[in-house]
Structure 1
Amino acid sequence: MLAQQVRFGILGPLDIRCGDELVEPGGLVPAVVLGLLLLAAGRAVPLHRIVDAVWDDLPPETASHQVRKAVSVLRRRIPEGDRLIVTQTGGYRIDPGVGQLDAAVFTGLLGEAQALEADGRTNQAVDRLREALALWRGHVLQGLPGSFLEAAATTLDERRLEAMEHCFDLRLELGEAAGLVSELRSLIAEHPLREAPRRQLMLALYRSGRQAEALEEFASLRTLLTAELGVAPGAKLSALRDAILRQAPELDGAPSAVTAESAEARVRQGLGVPRTLPSTLSDFTGRRSELARIAELAGQTPTGPAIVVIDSMAGSGKTALAVHSAHQLAHRYPDGQLFLDLRGHSGEHPPLDVGTALDMLACSFGVPAEQHPGTLVGKTALWRRLSAGRRLLLILDDAVSADQARTLLPASSQSLVLVTSRNRLPDVDGALWLPLRDMPHEDGVQLLRRALGPHRSSGASAAVHELVELCGGLPLALRLAAARLLRRPGRRDAELVERLRDERKRIDELYSPERSIAGALARSYENLPEELRSALHVLARHSASDLTHQQAIALLEAAPRAAEDILDRLLDANLIRQDGRCRYAFHPLVRGYALCAYHPALVTEGGCRGPEDPAGRDHRHRCAA
């Protein structure tokens, strides 16, 4: 296997791939050694500096020997590692070839963008910058420990921020405004003290007719800078605030001549091609049959757009599957790869209305907000015109209904649309319906092992196998379990298993500061009407692992037709399941959540009524039996 086939990724977690195969570094020390060599690619790194990077200021007596052993491990594991990793006097050097190191590709694309901008080809410069920024999967060498590595990676992280800010400046120059707001807010959330993104957001808001919000951004930054650093916003930001207050004409920018027709022309010329896919997970695991079915459909020649509807319960990895598949197939759709969050179950915001979604799609093709039609009919016509005849890949993520997704389908038979939803959506005509099942046990073990990383590999232990069972093969639950173990390195796997064995407490254990199983399921539960919440709670309290059709109807204490309607609606919400024998069952985590979820009709002053009370429950269960 040739060395040119090996690709190294440091713009995120360390990633080594040979073709499509992931190459494991062989442990934490080899991973840190390789990360440091890749940061200095083409230059020798002294042995003492490698020792400092691995152990900071507390190296063991055998540090030099362990580094040499780590280099030997890397040379064995990486194809043609002996040629790539070179021994020099007092140290080592790695020499990746062209296109083998993502950081080098990133730097090359920045250079191309700079040359294109100097030549007056701003649209193409923006495309190069976006292509460069799409290489990033997180912070440089994310997950590898050591202050030395962190300091060495700072320069690359700063170049990424500068490239993002410059890309926003160019897009503002080209007339974009409303379409930048959400991207700029995300950047500001990560770097709240940087003034450049705040200036760009203020300008984008002002040009979108949101003057008050633009001024609020200035006030918010001023408060933050005063509290954190004791300083005021810089002169440029203050001048922009004053110009917004007096509605200075120069803030409007040059009149834009971009129309639907010119946006179509830009796509035909290969300019302004929209690429808004999120990065794929470096440790994506399993789902081979689903990926194969999507790829097979994409290879066919349909009379309309190829559509795949991926549905399942919360946390099953629908979005991860769609994004991973989209990256694998992106080369087949050169006219654009788009991602649109329809917010069907965001919790914080209502579902995205179709008109706003159509505006966002038009913005991605360079049509300024001020030139969008004012009616839904007009917006739909514009989207069909922009998408007609294009080879597009579109992800409609978290759709709440078939109607929401149907209007957004591109008017091209050469396109692929991946729709994800927590609700069953068999009503999308002409679509491949792909319900996502729990991960097979071995895939779950592999995912858990990858999430834990090379420094805590315990994939073969009995506790890990039970952990996968207790999580019900749910990817989100497995990642949360791994995060709990990583946050407390001293905790044994068996301790977490013991905590998760209690079905009612299991939900509370699977959380992190940013996300949780309870939070994910709550967004599905809260979308239900009161009648279905009550039915879900009643069914979950039955002690059997599954229920026959007759038992479920008896428990619900409703007329047969009404009870069947309730069961169908819970099936459509992917909160209960039905097998080929017409028996109903819960995913164990959904059952645990339903047992503890708040329900006004089932709460006393003392708290949630459990299955041991009241007498009415006993009557229903006798009828079901």
Structure 2
Amino acid sequence: MTVSGLRIEALGPLALQAGGGPLLVRAPKQRSLLGLLAVQPNHSVGHHDLAEALWGPKQPAGAQDLLYTYMHRLRKALESVASNDSTELIASTGSGYLLRADAAQLDVLRFTELADRALASDDPAAAADGYDQALACWRGPTLGDLPESVRDLPAVNVLDRRRLRIALARADLADVLGDYQRVVPMLLELADAEPLNEGLAARLVICLAGSGEATAALARYAEIRRRLHDELGIEPDGQLREAQLRVLRQRVVPGHLRNQATPRLTRFTLPRDVEDFTGRTSEIDSLAAPATAVWAWDGMAGVGKTTLAVHVAHRLAPHYPDAQLFVDLQGNADPLSPHDALLRLLSGLGIKTGRTPVDLAGCLDLWRRWSSGHRALVVLDDASSAEQIRPLLPAGTGCLAIVTSRARLTSLEGARRRCLDVLPLDQADDLITKIVGDQRVAGQRDAVEEIARLCGYLPLAVRIAASRLRDRPAWSAAYLAERLRDERSGLDELSVGDRSVEAAFALSYEQLSMDQRRFFRLLGVFPGLEIDAYAAAALADLTPRTAEDLLERLFDVHLIEQPRQGRYRFHALVRRHAVTTAAAQDPSAERTAALRRIVDYYLQAADFAATVVEPGRRQFAPLNRSATLPEMPDSSDWLETERSNLTTAVSVAAERGWHSTTWRLAQCLWRHFLTRGHLLDWLETHEKALTSAREIHDRVAEAETLKNLGVAYLRLGRFHDGVEVHYQALDLDRKSKDLLGEAKTHNNLGFVLSSAGSHADALTHHRRSADLYRTIADLSGESRALVGLGRAFLGTGGQHAALQEFERAIALADRAGDAWGATLGLVGCGFALVHLGRVAEAEKHFRQALEVVLARADRGGESLALVGLGLVHLRSGRRDEARTTLQAGLSLADETGELWGAETARKAMHDLVCYGIHL
């Protein structure tokens, strides 16, 4: 598989980006596996090496099984951003695993490529720039947030040593080029990590002196000399001693004094830097004054692009002594023409109006001739497009242009582009505290955090909210949070003086075409959080291709976010703006029609997905398949991806009185909730579905919903409720003369009774279910009734009878093409065989079942298979393996409500304690 937009960053804390947003892989073992492969890309890493890095020399029993499980889950996590291809991102090589990546996807390869190119360069300036780019790939120690056992691997050490060599080479070039200040922060960071490295210390001494800090350079020398003496009992070597002598003899010429000509007049038109500037530490810490560069920062309205650009320009001003200029390009109001913008630049240089050429070509020639011979910094704020920017870029190799825009300036050649996101929680809190004052918010930390959250961590919104709180001494932080919480008037609170969050969003909205505006407003009607092109097409009554183009346009101008490939979402405050704009401009009937289209779309798509997952599922009245549905290579994955939207659609349908849609949609989801263990979603959707079924007096719908709800009660351990609703369903089935419904109810009731310990009663219901399924020739249903019989026989101690029923169930499921039913039979056979002492056969059944449930993401089935394997290990005397596998199975069983598996695991773990095994 190839991954669109995936970036893996291992040169620092392990991080993943996909589709412009973070991809979360939280499980520690999965993160460690990914890190191990990332530092050895395109090379096979053996199973033994992976296991040793995860667990050390004393690996747990069953390590290979666990390694396979962890790797499987890692690959599944990455598949959410993958497109089908013949090449896998993480490939099995037989003896291990291999990560396939290129420099665009992996910072390790990007660093290597840039470093190699710089090493091969004959141009010192080009080499220095290449080294800077290579070193900028590092965000800290390699895999810095992973366990020490991973970070101590030779491959990690090799990378760290390579980084050090490149840093030393860059420092040597600084001594040639005189740009010492650019490398001092990097050398200080490395010196803190390696305080006794004399070669590194020597270069730091030189570069500190070259930055005009001779006193600090000599103090650094004295400090390392003391440490070498105290800790190693040695004196500094030749290169460190030579560095000290160069500083003492003033043979290091500070870079700003090299080739200094007569003083020149500085042209300065930068706005004032804000005194309470807060945050953006990662952006600022990564900055240096490059020899030549264009930095382009884009982001949504109010994210603080201009504030950051001005703040950085003030910090970098000493590096650009000839001019620091600022031009507002008015990209979201009445964009300046390149000619008008050039006139403002030339005016900022002090060139009189009478001496300024009147035509664009003349202005452009004058600007390029001036900038080619000077060191100037230019802030080009609020650009509308790359076309507006290109003529304004300075021509000199010693100039820097900082560009800000609400549009993604993708076609701006040679620019270092960065998309600014909202502030992290801690920085948003700091901004509020700095504006309001420590004493004012003392003891109100929770309320301050809620204000930041309700502002969506958007700097403009946070700053306005904090200013309102500061200027109203009678208000508490909790009171402001209460006002912001109001969905109807929350945006009104984010307005002060001439600054307004809604006005900032409105400027972006006004730049859209009429079609784009309508689409933006309809997205405000969408009841979920994330949307794809197919759902957006249904919402707006468009083709998926047109909808995707409109989504991408909104993404380009930062009115919508793209957390991963193919998925789009609003920032919370932009969503409010879309909702209020739609309410003001679109008739209620049009908004209701859009809402109905999206709910109908989810019903059609969920019905299709559920049928693919369970081909033999019961079909009710045919649906009108009017919507264009997405391809679903894995329908279960689609259901999981859309789970939040699907449950929301059930709620919307219930609220609107679309009762048939409510229960039909919930019925499509119960099986997915069962296999993935989403018990609360199951209850919430089916309680609404039950109300809807009763509203329309549909006995079949009510019975179907009751029995699905009864299985949810079983998973929650509410046996009495489970029995009661199934008897209600049974009465409805009989009144409707619904044999298929009655067969299902009897079978479900048997499982509930078995779980409650009433195995004899369970046998009666499972037998009745099997008879009814046989009468209507439903092989799949009969197979599952036989599984129930086997489960009940196990409860009564009839292992031979149980084995016979499970084997019959597998045969029927295979004939029906029912993979899920066959897997249930395999698991049941495994448990029966364990009780009969045939553990080798049992292990074969459990492993076969585990392979199927992992592929189908059936977490409940996975828990049973793992518990079964744990029993096999226990009966085989492999007690350490038993402990590890049973704990994994019990954890999953508790999460999914698989009571049989949980009870079996706990009994087995009690036996382990009796053997003296520590849990």
* 1:444 and 2:422 are equivalent in the alignment: no
* 1:566 and 2:550 are equivalent in the alignment: yes
CA RMSD across the alignment: 2.1
Letter in 2 for 1:622: D
Cα 1:474–1:307 change in 2 (3 A) is same
How many Å separate the matches in 2 of 1:333 and 1:624?
A: 57
- 1:316 is aligned to 303
Superposition deviation, residue 464 in structure 1 = 0.8
- 1:291 is aligned to 284
Letter in 2 for 1:286: G
Cα 1:427–1:474 change in 2 (3 A) is same
Which of 478, 488, 506 aligns to 1:494? It is 478
* 1:364 and 2:342 are equivalent in the alignment: no
Cα 1:537–1:423 change in 2 (3 A) is same
Superposition deviation, residue 381 in structure 1 = 0.6
- 2:408 is aligned to 424
Superposition deviation, residue 503 in structure 1 = 2.8
Superposition deviation, residue 313 in structure 1 = 0.8
Identity of aligned residues (%): 42
- 1:385 is aligned to 369
**2:488 aligns to what SS in structure 1?**
helix
How many Å separate the matches in 2 of 1:538 and 1:317?
A: 27
* Counterparts of residues 67-466 of structure 1 (less than 5 Å): 269-293=262-286, 295-296=287-288, 298-299=289-290, 301=291, 305-345=292-332, 347=333, 350-458=334-442, 461-466=445-450
Deviations 1:118-152 (A, max 9, x none): xxxxxxxxxxxxxxxxxxxxxxxxxxxxxxxxxxx
The TM-score with structure 2 as length reference comes to 0.36
Deviations 1:154-185 (A, max 9, x none): xxxxxxxxxxxxxxxxxxxxxxxxxxxxxxxx
**1:427 aligns to what SS in structure 2?**
coil
Letter in 1 for 2:478: A
Consecutive unaligned residues of structure 1, counting only runs of 5 or more, are: 1-266, 604-608
* 1:512 and 2:496 are equivalent in the alignment: yes
How many Å separate the matches in 1 of 2:475 and 2:575?
A: 27
Superposition deviation, residue 600 in structure 1 = 7.8
Letter in 1 for 2:278: T
How many Å separate the matches in 2 of 1:550 and 1:374?
A: 52
Superposition deviation, residue 379 in structure 1 = 0.9
**1:590 aligns to what SS in structure 2?**
helix
How many Å separate the matches in 2 of 1:482 and 1:600?
A: 28
- 1:260 is aligned to none
Superposition deviation, residue 523 in structure 1 = 0.8
- Cα pair 1:547 1:583 within 8 Å, conserved: yes
Which of 513, 526, 534 aligns to 1:529? It is 513
Which of 500, 503, 510 aligns to 2:487? It is 503
Superposition deviation, residue 615 in structure 1 = 3.3
Superposition deviation, residue 460 in structure 1 = 5.1
- Cα pair 1:485 1:493 within 8 Å, conserved: yes
Cα 1:610–1:460 change in 2 (3 A) is farther
Superposition deviation, residue 271 in structure 1 = 3.7
How many Å separate the matches in 2 of 1:311 and 1:570?
A: 13
Superposition deviation, residue 340 in structure 1 = 0.8
Report 1 or 2 for greater relative contact order, CA contacts < 8 Å, sequence distance ≥ 6: 1
- Cα pair 1:422 1:573 within 8 Å, conserved: yes
Which of 572, 589, 596 aligns to 1:618? It is 596
Deviations 1:208-231 (A, max 9, x none): xxxxxxxxxxxxxxxxxxxxxxxx
How many Å separate the matches in 2 of 1:458 and 1:573?
A: 39
Deviations 1:374-401 (A, max 9, x none): 2111111111011112111110001111
* 1:555 and 2:548 are equivalent in the alignment: no
- Cα pair 1:504 1:595 within 8 Å, conserved: no
Which of 482, 486, 509 aligns to 2:466? It is 482
Cα 1:592–1:327 change in 2 (3 A) is same
Superposition deviation, residue 511 in structure 1 = 0.8
Deviations 1:566-596 (A, max 9, x none): 1111001100010124311100000000111
- Cα pair 1:595 1:610 within 8 Å, conserved: no
Superposition deviation, residue 284 in structure 1 = 0.8
Q: Which runs of 4+ in 1 moved over 4 A?
A: 598-601
Superposition deviation, residue 541 in structure 1 = 1.3
How many Å separate the matches in 1 of 2:274 and 2:431?
A: 11
Superposition deviation, residue 430 in structure 1 = 0.3
Superposition deviation, residue 621 in structure 1 = 3.4
Consecutive unaligned residues of structure 2, counting only runs of 5 or more, are: 1-259, 604-919
Superposition deviation, residue 270 in structure 1 = 3.5
Letter in 1 for 2:354: E
The TM-score with structure 1 as length reference comes to 0.53
How many Å separate the matches in 2 of 1:352 and 1:475?
A: 26
Deviations 1:436-479 (A, max 9, x none): 01100011000110011245234752111111111011111111
- Cα pair 1:449 1:458 within 8 Å, conserved: no
- Cα pair 2:533 2:551 within 8 Å, conserved: no
How many Å separate the matches in 2 of 1:307 and 1:503?
A: 41
Superposition deviation, residue 624 in structure 1 = 4.7
Deviations 1:213-251 (A, max 9, x none): xxxxxxxxxxxxxxxxxxxxxxxxxxxxxxxxxxxxxxx
Letter in 2 for 1:617: L
**Higher CA-based Rg:** 2
Letter in 1 for 2:562: Q
Deviations 1:16-45 (A, max 9, x none): xxxxxxxxxxxxxxxxxxxxxxxxxxxxxx
How many Å separate the matches in 2 of 1:401 and 1:268?
A: 38
How many Å separate the matches in 1 of 2:367 and 2:490?
A: 46
How many Å separate the matches in 1 of 2:293 and 2:593?
A: 53
Farther off after superposition, 470-479 or 370-379: 370-379
Question: What is the total number of aligned residue pairs between the two structures?
Answer: 344
How many Å separate the matches in 2 of 1:599 and 1:460?
A: 35
Letter in 1 for 2:416: L
Cα 1:358–1:459 change in 2 (3 A) is farther
Letter in 2 for 1:341: D
Cα 1:462–1:292 change in 2 (3 A) is same
